A = this chain, B = another copy of it.
Amino acid sequence: MGIKDIAALSGVSPATVSRTLRNPELVNKDTRKKVMKAVKESGYRPNRFGSSLRTRQSGNIVVVMPDITHQVNAGIIRAIESEAQKHGYSVLLGDTQGLIERERHYADMVNSGQADGILLFTPRLPFDVDPDQPLLKQLPPLVSGNETIPVEGLCRVSVNNTAGARAATEYLLSLGHRRIAAVLGASDAPSNQERLDGYHQAMDEAGLQVDPQWIVAGDYSTDSGMAAMEKLLKLRQRPTAVFCFNDDMAIGALNVLHQYGFAIPQDISVMGFDDIRYAALMRPALTTIHQPLEDIGRAAMQLLLEQLNGRQPKNNYVELPFELIVRQSTGPVPLQGESE
């Protein structure tokens, strides 16, 4: 059941069969019909490897993520896959489990021709590059998402983390909060630095001095959110609002606060970032910054498709809109908070 059989079946040459399937406009209408008929009847599917070997195109893309188990990543990859399939590409899953060696392993797939392009949601470029050559020329079709790698000219897509964090902080300020803590994400994540910038911008513009104790380390995990909250509660001057740089940490914070008997948001306000599905289902429901996961995934894939089709996209940075979602975990600053 190779292309030769179809050729024989329809009385033409393999070349014509191939053309019928890939460039129908090159073949006469009647011939086309004959071939199509034979294809249908035999259920012939071109062998991908024969084709790939010849064309040097795999029809695969690989998406590299630190942990597909996180809502945010799962949502994004789902959109990617949908968009990819629409354009005839299959997606190879690359969950790095946080290991750099794995990042390299997946990067290798595109080097070895197993994938035509790569979607990177990790904060590094896992490629060996010659520092003397222009970087971009050495990279395969690639787009960086979320943890956007700041390389001039690199295709990137994400929400504006800085503006998002700033909007979050400004919202807390608008509620009257002045002592606003920030729980940071993974220290090697660009998104973390960006969000921190946004926080600082808002505080600066409000003319507020930030007590360094209000800035506490985390790593985007729920546990780190809990630990951070514990630390904040021990401060002499407790913050009246806590802005966690993602929802998981905010959920951790919520739990610690409950445990210590605090009322939210009466005693203390909590904000997240991401708007994962469970944010709305918490008690109290979490105020947060929404990320349009589907749009991110789709945009990333589209940017990659441009490159795969040989066009260098005009806009190599796609910035998607975030949205402030006000729920019940934030409220006006408590009175004693003001007066203290």
Contacts and interface: CB of A to CB of B under 8 A. Distances in A.
A278 interface: yes
Contacts of A68: 68, 74, 77-78, 81
B48 A112 contact: yes
Interface string A247-258: 000011011001
A88 to B, nearest CB: 11
A222 interface: yes
Contact of A283 (B91, B105, B252, B283): B283
Interface string A38-72: 00000001111110110000101000000111010
A70 to B, nearest CB: 8
A208 interface: no
A95 B79 CA distance: 10
Contacts of A254: 281
A275 to B, nearest CB: 14
B92 A93 contact: yes
A283 B328 CA distance: 14
B95 A281 contact: no
Nearest to A258: B283
Interface in A192-218: none
A97 interface: yes
Interface residues of A, number: 47
A98 to B, nearest CB: 12
A110 B68 CA distance: 24
Task: Select the residue from A47, A90, A94, A258 with max chain B CB neighbours within 10 A.
Answer: A90
A251 to B, nearest CB: 5
A48 B114 contact: yes
Contacts of A277: 69, 222
Task: Select the residue from A71, A93, A277 with max chain B CB neighbours within 10 A.
Answer: A93
Contacts of A92: 60, 90-93
A7 to B, nearest CB: 18
A49 B68 CA distance: 28
Contact of A67 (B78, B90, B282): B78
A106 to B, nearest CB: 9
Interface of A: 45-50, 52-53, 58, 60, 67-69, 71, 74-75, 77-78, 81-82, 85, 90-95, 97, 102, 105, 108-109, 111-114, 222, 251-252, 254-255, 258, 277-278, 281-283
15 contacts: A48-B113, A49-B49, A53-B53, A60-B92, A68-B68, A68-B81, A69-B78, A69-B277, A85-B105, A90-B92, A222-B277, A278-B278, A278-B281, A281-B282, A282-B283
Q: Which 3 A-B pairs have the closest CB atoms?
A: A45-B112, A49-B53, A49-B52
